[in-house]
Amino acid sequence: MPGGGHNGPEEPAGFLMGIWHGWIAPISLIAGLFNDTIRVYEPFNTGWWYDFGFYMAVIAGFGSLSLVRRKASGR
């Protein structure tokens, strides 16, 4: 989970971790309500590449759910 202590200044989260953290963002948000160390976004990251992976996964994940709902409703 982001902010869980696995990444630090000596080993920041990169592109692939950004993708993973983007996919599990809704779960991290709920878990963060019960555990102060869990965040939606990893503060120790490589910068632009982590951001790109994170937002790509968030947009792709939530966008695909939207497309599935449209097909099911017949619109």
In this predicted model, what pLDDT tens digit does every residue of 16-62 receive, in sequence order? 999 998 999 989 999 999 988 888 988 899 999 999 999 999 888 76
Residue 52 counted as domain residue: yes
Residue 42, in any domain of the structure:
yes
Let me know if 18 is exposed, middle or buried by CB neighbors in 10 A (0-12, 13-18, 19+): buried
Amino acid of residue 71:
K
Distances (CA, A) of 29 to 1, 23, 35, 42, 71: 10, 12, 10, 12, 28
Residue 56 lies in a domain: yes
Question: Domain containing 64: what range?
Answer: 15-73
- Whether residue 8 is contained in a domain is answered as no
User: Is the overall model pTM greater than 0.85, yes or no?
Assistant: no
